[in-house]
Structure 1
Amino acid sequence: MDSHDPAADAIAFIGGGNMARSLIGGLLCRGADPRRIRVAEPVAALREALAADFGVQVFEHGADAVQGAGLWLLAVKPQMMRVACEPLAAAAQSLRPLVVSIAAGIPVARLQEWLGGGLPVVRCMPNTPALLGAGVTGLFAGEGVDEAQRARAGELLSSAGATVWVDAEPLVDAVTAVSGSGPAYVFLLAEAMEAAAVAEGLPAEDARTLVVHTLLGAGRMLAEAGDPPAELRRKVTSPGGTTQAAIEAFQAGGFEALVARAVHAARERGAALAAATGP
């Protein structure tokens, strides 16, 4: 790997759950050395799976995992973040790592407080397609993060897919609502489409194939065609045709307003989680 690879120095993951697995998988797909990835995970079965699946170093306690690591990636559930961070404060003040958090709703200031203060913290929100190298991550650099650290955090998360930097921390909650939670919205749509296809008489296996590849192909068109979604929709919607009938049914049911309410509800939940971490 070249000298700019963020995995050239040891990275400590605090938490070895699904999102950590996704990011580790993305890193390894980009050629990271598994020996330079250290993971703290209290659940023995998860530790064993991480070691077996990825060849990374695993530890029961965070204090052991962070030794020698210049970048700490905090990947525990938001409600467990304080419990995970406070025992690491002494090590954090000694090692002065770059801290990257992927926990929804935990502000930079709170993370700095729990780790003893004065550390460079990047708050970010990836999503689960990172496991395939097809994720997208929104990032916010807290006060004290220099350009080199910002670049390192960006390179680390770009190993899992595209990245978007936001300039104001509250916008991380909007990122969470759109892309962090977004895969579940697509899966919900897929569930509904498959059920509808079966209701129309198609065998379940055929329905799944049709739905999966329709969504996959539509996603590629969005990424590769260069046209905005409204234009792509217009091109496939012939006046008076079958697609127009379906679109009109969606719109009659308030589809756009429902999506807007759903995204707003997710953003509000992120903000509520942040408020709940206060003193």
Structure 2
Amino acid sequence: MVDERSASAFDPASVPVKDASTVMLVRDSVRGIEVFLLRRVVGMDFAGGMTVFPGGGVDRSDSEASLRWTGRDVEWWAKRFDVTPARAQALVLAAVRETFEECGVLLAGRDPDSVLADTAPHAQARRQLEDRELSFSDFLTREGLVLRADLLRPWARWITPLGERRRYDTHFFVAAAPEGQNADGATSEAEQVLWQTPAEALAHWKSGRSVLLPPTWAQLTDLSKYATVAEILAGDPEIPTIAPIMSRTDTGIHIAFDGDEGYYEDGGPHPWANRDDI
């Protein structure tokens, strides 16, 4: 039950908007492209129980890092996401770091033209990163690794609507899963992980077996239009900043955004139907 006093004292406008990065790992299969998804542990402060892509908030250490990097420079990333170069660097580092923390996939190699074939030897460092006992730049430097920013592509940008108790300016990336590396669920934040085609993930949601936030639904819908990973990586999507509007209706909470009619008409469960904390 929501504490009415704490609910009434809540000031939505006072909630800071923090930068976050999310990575859609994709791979080719006989059934078409597949994307890696996690179902977050129920009870987590943000998106508990939701099916999401790997990702999380930017750390201060991500913007302060000095490390070897290959691929487009930070100015290019800054222009694509319409942010400052410092924020762009932090977003790219957070994308690679969070992917490693949450599913063990590391977009880095011994040199600018290689990528690790096996990340198992770095299991301890992965736990230290998740526990914030080790910075990502220190880890890469210690192991002599080059961050492979060239394996990432910018994809979308969504801001958590006003009214949530945690808000993020989330920048979506897409990357092909490196050959030989195994995406797993060895993280305290995931209850279940799986590879699904975008169509399967959407059907799973429509049947009530999972819950998708609008940004996840929108990206899965977008990815379902592609036949191969190569087509996805060759894409050059526009990246407008999407800022949904949350409001209370007679049937619960409604999240309004461009294309929301498809989200609601598709008939999947919506996590705001019985929200009473705004």
| Same structural fold, with TM-score higher than 0.5 when normalized by the shorter chain | no
**Hey, which of these two has a bigger chunk of helix by percent?**
1
Q: Which structure's residues are more often strand, by fraction? A: 2
User: Structure 2 length as normaliser, TM-score?
Assistant: 0.26
Q: Name the structure, 1 or 2, with higher relative contact order (CA <8 Å, separation 6+).
A: 2
TM-score (norm 1): 0.26
